[in-house]
Amino acid sequence: MTLQGFQKFDFEGPLGDGDSVSHRVYYRGEGPPIVIMQELPGIGPQTLRLALGLIDEGYSVYLPHLFGPLGKVSFAGNIRRIFCLRREYHLFAANKASPIVDWMRALCREVKQRSGARGVGTIGMCLTGGFALTLMADDAVLAGVASQPSLPVFKNRALHMSQDEVAAARKGMETKGPAMAMRYAGDPICRAAKLDALKEAFGDNLITHTFEGRGHSLLTLDWNDKAFDTVKAYFRDSALH
């Protein structure tokens, strides 16, 4: 499975530390736009399966390529790359989002403008999972799915966003509708405490789901049909339509 049929553009945007960075963005499809933020293994066949599944449901999909090879997964190599991208990712930081979230916010605004849509939906996974919730503060983002949110690393009871970011995201959810977070019941990385902490922060503004199984990547490497159906139903009922 390749990126055949996808178009692309380079997007330069700000980081949270005042610097800027450019990443290539791949896109395809017609309909309400959804930005899929890659997880640690990268944009491999499994992530493309998710993208094509959403395209088949009538969405356009935008895939920012943040690190790693395209078309295949890379674990050890991408771990090394992430540790070299310290100005973009703060993996261990609690109570503060990574600087790349500001770039994502700018990208969502760009996608909204390019597509002429009412706004965009987002899916974050693993290290980008919580980004989907933080982005709910922005006017351009109408819906967000946090799949197995895992930052900060080794701190399942902590959030990867500040109190001000939580308050802004919560206000956005109150206006546009709830966000969603989900995990596998037996996930050793994103534990129950993570969703508990998110639920405590966002209350009724966050829908949470726990699916049976011991996998981690609900929408990619450890594909779960029920999780994908739940995501489709969430976006179908969201402010995107």
Tokens 């993996």 belong to residue:
91
Q: Which residues contact 78 (CB under 8 A, 6 or more apart)?
A: 40, 41, 42, 67, 68
- Average pLDDT for the chain: 96
Which of 229, 173, 236 has its CA nearest to residue 204? 173
54 three-class SS: helix
The arithmetic mean of pLDDT across residues 161-178, rounded, is: 98
| 84 falls within a domain | yes
| 2 falls within a domain | no
Please report, rounded to a whole number, the percentage of residues in the chain having pLDDT higher than 70: 100
| 33 falls within a domain | yes
Q: What's the CATH number where 212 sits?
A: 3.40.50.1820
Q: What is the pLDDT of residue 18?
A: 87
Beta strand 60-65 with 20-28 is antiparallel
| 155 falls within a domain | yes
Number of structural domains, the chain?
1
pLDDT tens digits, one per residue of 195-204: 999 999 999 9
pLDDT tens digits, one per residue of 25-55: 999 999 999 999 999 999 999 999 999 999 9
Q: Whole domain around residue 18: which residue ranges?
A: 7-236
